[in-house]
Amino acid sequence: MTSLSWTEELTLHQPQIDQTHQEFVDLLDELDRTLKNAPNDCNSALPVYRRFLEHTEAHFAMEEGFMAATGFAADNCHSKQHAMVLDVMRQVMAHTLAEQDLEPMRNLVPELANWLPAHVDMMDAALVFHMNQLGFDPVTGTMSHAPAPAAEAISSCGSNSCSS
Ligand SMILES: [Fe+2]
Ligand SMILES: [Fe+2]
């Protein structure tokens, strides 16, 4: 087990996002176990890492789709944090492929185990709160309390701790 396991505290009561976060936790745990079972075997770690990276790309794209549908500007700070995480994950992939060295990947596992709960608690929770306020249904894309057409795009992540 990584230091990250699924708990009630990670639940935001938004089925698509909760399911995706649960899968993130499972994939991170699978990567951790793979790296511990075969510490120097890139051939076993890389397919797991690739699945995890692809899942994270889809995870962030899904949330950014919800943001776009509910009035966030494309360069809001939640999306920027996603982009930073993906950049690091892609750099680790490139390093592993080029150097056959798993050290950065090993270092990334606890970093992501720490990162996810903080991100969920701050940015994803604020997104879900915003979606709920608008009555946004991610399945149909409809809103029961749509903002006025003249409303400005939102550039912060919507959490209290965000000052941008
Ligand atoms: Fe998320
Ligand atoms: Fe997010």
Q: Is residue 155 part of a domain?
A: no
List the structure tokens of 13.
């009561």
The predicted model gives 83-111 an average pLDDT of 97
List the structure tokens of 1.
């087990």
Q: Is residue 157 part of a domain?
A: no
Distance 98 CA to ligand 2 centre (A): 29
* Number of domains forming the structure of the chain: 1
Degrees (nearest 5) of the Cα angle 74, 76, 79?
80
The predicted model gives 89-96 an average pLDDT of 98
pLDDT for the residue numbered 144: 87
Query: How long a stretch of residues is the chain?
Result: 164
Distance 148 CA to ligand 2 centre (A): 25
Q: Is residue 1 part of a domain?
A: no
* Selection from 71-75, 117-121, 148-152, 153-157 with the highest mean pLDDT: 117-121
pTM of the model: 0.91
pLDDT for the residue numbered 146: 77
Domain range spanning residue 85?
14-143
Euclidean distance between CA atoms 34 and 125, whole angstroms: 31
Q: CB within 5 A of ion ligand 2: which residues?
A: 63, 124
Give the model's confidence band at 150: pLDDT under 50 very low, under 70 low, under 90 confident, else very high. low
List the structure tokens of 161.
């701790």
Minimum-distance ligand to the CA of 16?
A: 1
Distance 56 CA to ligand 1 centre (A): 9
Q: Is residue 125 part of a domain?
A: yes
The predicted model gives 82-93 an average pLDDT of 98
